[in-house]
């Protein structure tokens, strides 16, 4: 295909040129080198320990050429179940504020011997020459005999060539004694009262005039107060907790009152004989525990007879229910008032039996 004579030739893309790409790569490497050098110089200026050859354990970021650690334990004799205070003292560090507290709970020598609680220690001040970390240690049992040795690596930036930049120092073990737990005895409370209050008075002066001598009536009141209190308590007890006989009497009285009230209201209903019979039957079932199935006059008479009710009373009750049945199914008349009077008289007769 022939070129268009009126078309301008396009210049090649400079971004795709090999020389340009090579220069960009060298520029990026130079920038990365400068930034790395800047970061490295910043780390060195801040005194950070290098990651190369750094110990994997027991390194707490302390720096210096002569770092020392030691334990201070108080008290060294503790009862079983008691606590002691162990303070780790770090001296010779050039970065006291950057030192990390050792976690004794992660060290098996301490975890197997003590229940450990970290104390809230204040941070070291400006120009501090030592760092202190304190712990509350409670021995697990009486076989614990020491606060173990603690290994402590630190970074020595001035270490000569050929020697490790992370030397090891140790806090030596401190012997302790765990004694038997004290018995739970009440504390002795000193008395602050004068001695004259503890002197027993004797002699004839105790019977002289002016001294209190109780009269006979006072002795009588004291002697009778016990029986009177017992009698009063017995009366209250009977009032609050009545016996079975009194409970039965009260229950019968309530049943009789309810039955008589129902009898008095029977004339307001459409079937007074039926209401009166139901009221008397309910009273009988409360007054005498005969079977619930006894409903006819003959059954009621037999049930009362089995309960040893007198024969005249049994006959009177049976005749009353027969009169009620006759009044219910007889033609209307004036037998409602007389039937109510008979029912009330029957209940009064049974209550007096």
Rank 113-117, 311-315, 342-346 by mean pLDDT and report only the highest: 113-117
* Residue 326, pLDDT score: 85
Phi-psi sector, 71: left (phi>0), alpha (psi -120 to 50), beta: beta
Judge contact between 90 and 69, C-beta under 8 A.
yes
Please say whether the beta carbons of 287 and 304 come within 8 A.
Answer: no
Q: How much is the pLDDT for 174?
A: 94
Helix 311-329 to helix 297-306 angle (10° resolution) is 160
The per-residue pLDDT for 209 is 59
Does the structure show a pLDDT above 90 at 135?
A: yes
What is d(CA 60, CA 127) in angstroms, rounded to the nearest whole number? 20
Distance in angstroms (rounded) separating the CA atoms of residues 54 and 52: 5
Asked if pLDDT for residue 331 goes beyond 70, the answer is no
* CATH number at 59-179: 2.60.40
What is the Cα–Cα distance from 150 to 132, expressed in whole angstroms? 14
Kindly state the average pLDDT of the residues 224-229: 89
- Helix (H) or strand (E) holding 168, with range, is strand 168-171
64: tokens are 């210096």
Q: What's the DSSP call for residue 268?
A: G
**Is residue 154 very low, low, confident or very high in pLDDT (cuts 50, 70, 90)?**
very high
Identify the band that residue 21 occupies on the pLDDT scale cut at 50, 70 and 90: low
Lowest mean pLDDT among 35-39, 117-121, 189-193, 228-232: 35-39
Q: What pLDDT does 103 receive?
A: 93
**Which of 244, 340, 242, 252 lies closest to 288, judged by CA?**
252
Q: Decide: helix, strand or coil at residue 137.
A: strand
Which residues touch 134 (CB under 8 Å, ≥6 apart)? 85, 86, 87, 88, 119, 121
Q: Which of 37-51, 168-182, 321-335 is modeled with the greatest confidence?
A: 168-182
The two structure tokens encoding residue 230: 């017992």
Which segment, 60-74, 213-227, 263-277, is predicted with the most confidence on average? 60-74
Q: Are 290 and 284 in contact (CB under 8 A)?
A: yes
**Predicted pLDDT at 41:** 42
Half-sphere exposure of 130 (CA within 13 A, CB side): 10
Q: Give pLDDT, residue 332.
A: 63
pLDDT at 264: 87
Give the residue-averaged pLDDT of 41-59.
68
- Residue 60 · residue 155 · CB < 8 Å: no
Residue 31 in this model has a pLDDT that exceeds 60: no
The predicted pLDDT at position 293 comes to 79
Q: What is the pLDDT, as a whole number, of residue 343?
A: 85
Helix or strand holding residue 69 (H, E): strand 68-74
β partners of residue 175: 146
* DSSP SS3 for 289: coil
Instruction: Kindly report which listed range (8-22, 46-60, 87-101, 297-311) carries the lowest average pLDDT score.
Output: 8-22
Q: Could you give the C-alpha distances from 327 to 94, 244, 260, 272, in angstroms and in order?
A: 121, 39, 19, 9
Distance (Å, whole) CA 344 – CA 263: 8
**Pick the residue with more confidence: 219 or 112?**
112
What per-residue confidence (pLDDT) applies to 77? 93
Residue 178 clears pLDDT 90, i.e. is over it: yes
- What the block records as the tokens of 211 is 């001294």
Instruction: Quote the pLDDT of residue 252.
Output: 65
What contacts 148, CB < 8 A, 6 or more positions away?
A: 107, 109, 110, 113, 173
Question: Which of the four pLDDT bands, split at 50, 70 and 90, describes residue 40?
Answer: very low
| Identity of the highest mean pLDDT range in 186-190, 220-224, 332-336 | 220-224
Tokens (6 digits) for 104 = 């004794």
Q: What percent of the chain has pLDDT over 70?
A: 77
What is the per-residue pLDDT for 247? 56
Do 84 and 73 touch, CB atoms closer than 8 A?
A: yes
Dist. CA 167–CA 66, nearest whole Å: 10
């Amino acid at each position: 295909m022939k070129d268009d004579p009126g078309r301008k030739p396009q210049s090649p893309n400079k971004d795709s040129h090999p020389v340009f790409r090579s220069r960009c790569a060298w520029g990026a490497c130079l920038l990365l080198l400068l930034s790395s050098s800047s970061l490295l110089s910043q780390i060195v200026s801040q005194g950070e320990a290098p990651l190369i050859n750094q110990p994997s354990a027991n390194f707490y970021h302390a720096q210096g050429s002569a770092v020392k650690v030691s334990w201070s334990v108080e008290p060294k004799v503790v009862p079983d179940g008691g606590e002691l205070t162990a303070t780790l003292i770090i001296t010779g560090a050039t970065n006291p504020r950057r030192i990390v507290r050792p976690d004794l709970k992660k060290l098996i020598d301490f975890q197997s011997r003590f229940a450990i609680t970290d104390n809230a220690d204040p941070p070291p001040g400006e120009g501090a020459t030592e760092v202190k970390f304190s712990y509350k240690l409670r021995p697990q049992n009486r076989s614990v005999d020491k606060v173990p040795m603690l290994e402590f690596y630190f970074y020595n930036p001035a270490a000569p060539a050929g020697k490790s930049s992370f030397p090891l120092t140790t806090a030596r073990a401190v012997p302790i004694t765990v004694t038997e737990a004290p018995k739970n005895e009440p504390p002795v409370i000193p008395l602050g009262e004068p001695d004259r209050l503890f002197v027993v008075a004797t002699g004839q002066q105790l019977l002289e005039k002016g001294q209190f001598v109780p009269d006979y009536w006072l002795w009588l009141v004291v002697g009778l107060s016990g029986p009177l209190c017992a009698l009063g308590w017995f009366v209250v007890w009977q009032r609050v907790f009545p016996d079975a006989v009194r409970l039965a009497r009260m229950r019968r009285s309530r049943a009789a009152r309810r039955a008589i009230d129902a009898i008095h209201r029977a004339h307001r209903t459409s079937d007074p004989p039926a209401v009166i019979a139901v009221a008397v039957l309910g009273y009988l079932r409360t007054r005498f525990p005969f079977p619930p199935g006894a409903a006819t006059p003959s059954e009621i008479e037999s049930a009362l007879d089995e309960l040893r009710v007198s024969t005249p009373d049994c006959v009177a009750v049976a005749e009353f229910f027969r009169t009620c049945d006759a009044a219910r199914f007889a033609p209307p008349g004036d037998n409602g008032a007389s039937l109510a009077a008979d029912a009330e008289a029957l209940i009064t007769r049974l209550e007096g039996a």
